[in-house]
Amino acid sequence: MSAAAPGTSKAAHGEAGPKKKKGPGALATAYLVIYNVVMTAGWLVIAVGLVRAYLARGSYHGLYYSIEKPLKFVLWAAENSFFPYLTVFSVLSPNSGIVPSSVVLTGFQVMSRVFLTWAVTHSVREVQSEDSVLLFVTAWTITEIIRYSFYTFSLLNHLPYLIKWARYTFFIVLYPMGVTGELLTIYAALPYVQKTGLYSVTLPNKYNFSFDYYTFLILVMVSYIPLFPQLYFHMIRQRKKVLGHTEDYSKIE
């Protein structure tokens, strides 16, 4: 990836400044700790919101409304802190127990969650009462609480084994659970998108362009077929690397 400064005539020979590889300073660590604490708290708010709404209503229909705002907040925070976060994070000490995950995969995950939340659930009111929404929100919530506390503790160099284990084990159930919820939600949105022509552009028009959101959603669903196994097996490989020893497998049973 080229990081060259713009090629104005003033630019002398070569890039702007040497590239140094070093761990994060105290300031960067403080920023990262605060960021991860805030994110853990954000997802905890969602978890608490879900539980409270369930207890208040006695059923789990329509719990989306109770957590809509905190969910949008955590995704906004993830999107906007994502790049500076990862740039620093990727050079953390190797002894922290963190296996640096691929930038592309994590970025992709943030994007797909933003898509599910805004472009599907928020945009198609009729699916907001579907149980499938609860399914993926729950999966995301549990995953993210564990993941952000994992980062927080790692940064403070006090990572309880339980959190490490949970992070690299819960996904085995939570990923398929989340994917199922996501796919069912998109599927539920299809008839409404087709009926209303949501986000779609038809010919003729002066830009000579067309877009069929209905077809696009179907393609998104199809894309899960190659993409989900890659993400899933990536995590399984990470699990082997991080948890490694065979004694751990007997602890699970």
Partner 1 sequence: MKHYEVEILDAKTKDKLCFLDKVEPNATIGEIKSMFHKSHPQWYPARQSIRLDPKGKSLKDEDVLQQLPVGTTATFYFRDLGAQISWVTVFLTEYTGPLVIYLLFYFRVPFIYTPKYDFTTSKHWVVHLACMCHSFHYVKRLLETLFVHRFSHGTMPLRNIFKNCTYYWGFAAWMAYYINHPLYTPPIYGEQQIRLALIVFLFCQIGNFSIHIALRNLRPPGSKTRKIPYPTKNPFTWIFLLVSCPNYTYELGSWLGFTLMTQCLPVAFFTLVGFIQMTVWAKGKHRSYLKEFRDYPPLRSPILPFVL
The binder of partner 1 chosen from 17, 18, 58, 204 (CB under 8 A) = 204
User: Which of the stretches 22-30, 161-169, 179-187, 202-210 binds partner 1 when contact is defined by CB under 8 A?
Assistant: 202-210
**Structure token digits, residue 135:** 């399914």
**Structure token digits, residue 142:** 């549990």
How many Å apart are CA 165 and CA 252, to the nearest integer?
10
Site membership for partner 1, residue 203 (CB under 8 A): yes
User: Which of the stretches 31-39, 76-84, 125-133, 199-207 binds partner 1 when contact is defined by CB under 8 A?
Assistant: 199-207
Site membership for partner 1, residue 21 (CB under 8 A): no
How many Å apart are CA 45 and CA 112, to the nearest integer?
21
Q: Which is nearer to partner 1, 8 or 246 (CB)?
A: 8
Would you say 217 and 189 are in contact if contact means Cβ atoms under 8 Å apart?
A: yes
User: Which of the stretches 1-9, 33-41, 140-148, 231-239 binds partner 1 when contact is defined by CB under 8 A?
Assistant: 1-9
**Active site residues per annotation:** 175, 182
How many Å apart are CA 51 and CA 44, to the nearest integer?
11
How many Å apart are CA 242 and CA 238, to the nearest integer?
6
The binder of partner 1 chosen from 95, 208, 246, 250 (CB under 8 A) = 208
For the chain, list the strands marked E by DSSP.
none
Query: Given the rule CB under 8 A, which residues bind partner 1?
Result: 2, 4, 6-9, 13-14, 203-210
